């Protein structure tokens, strides 16, 4: 919930709505009796409505729809790295290469963050799949995802890139984390065709 910059009590209320309860108190009273309950369905509309009721902007709450995915990718799928820490960046590149996942990371500077992605860490077969992805459709999906997350919230941000390599600069840490999560979902091998079909 750190991605939403919510106060803890507000986050608890919004999460209770997400899993079908009228309030956090109602959830707590149930969970005390049923400690092992598994949630199979979530109500994004209820989460967004509760967030608005608590004073948060609806568009910021809509990002949970992108983030709440049960995709079994390796953890972590991206890394937060200090902008000046080239050793950590290189180490992350070699780990991505070893694990055969996209080289995706958030570079954190004093004021702004940027999201970087590159498929240089992957084999040529995956490279070709990205290059031929519906005549550039993946690049449009990435750009549209950036717009949905940053629009109106990140006036200094800038998207520069395509499906194979690129970056988004001038972001707050919260937006950078959300974009990295969404891009990991979109670019992770095996999910590319799903993203293009959606």
Q: Tell me the pLDDT of the chain (198 aa) as tens digits.
A: 566 678 888 988 988 888 788 888 887 776 555 554 555 467 788 888 898 899 887 776 777 776 665 444 456 889 999 999 999 999 999 998 888 888 999 999 999 999 999 987 666 655 555 555 544 688 888 999 999 888 888 999 999 988 889 999 999 998 999 899 889 888 876 544 433 334
Are 116 and 159 spatial neighbours (Cβ–Cβ below 8 Å)? no
Q: Does residue 166 contact residue 190 with C-beta atoms inside 8 Å?
A: no
Q: Which residue has the tokens 């949630």?
A: 39
What is the Cα 125 distance to its own chain's centre? 25
**Contacting residues for 89 by C-beta, under 8 A, at least 6 apart:** 81, 105, 107
Q: Which residues contact 148 (CB under 8 A, 6 or more apart)?
A: 62, 63, 66
Local structure of residue 122 (DSSP, 8 states): S
């Amino acid at each position: 919930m750190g991605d939403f910059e919510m106060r803890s009590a507000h986050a608890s209320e919004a999460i209770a709505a997400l899993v079908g309860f009228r309030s956090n108190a109602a959830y707590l009273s149930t969970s005390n009796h049923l400690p092992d309950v598994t949630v199979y369905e979530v109500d994004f509309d209820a989460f967004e409505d509760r967030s608005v009721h608590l004073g948060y902007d609806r568009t910021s709450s809509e990002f949970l729809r992108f983030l709440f995915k049960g995709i079994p990718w390796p953890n972590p799928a991206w890394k937060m790295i200090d902008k000046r820490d080239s050793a950590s960046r290189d180490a992350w590149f070699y780990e991505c290469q070893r694990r055969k996942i996209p080289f995706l990371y958030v570079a954190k500077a004093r004021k702004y963050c940027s999201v970087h992605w590159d498929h240089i860490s992957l084999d040529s077969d995956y490279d070709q799949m990205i290059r031929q992805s519906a005549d550039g459709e993946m690049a449009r999906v990435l750009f549209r995802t950036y717009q949905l997350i940053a629009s109106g919230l990140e006036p200094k941000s800038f998207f520069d890139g395509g499906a194979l390599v690129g970056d988004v600069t001038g972001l707050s840490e919260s937006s950078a984390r959300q974009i990295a999560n969404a891009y990991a979902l979109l670019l992770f091998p095996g999910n590319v065709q799903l993203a293009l079909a959606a």
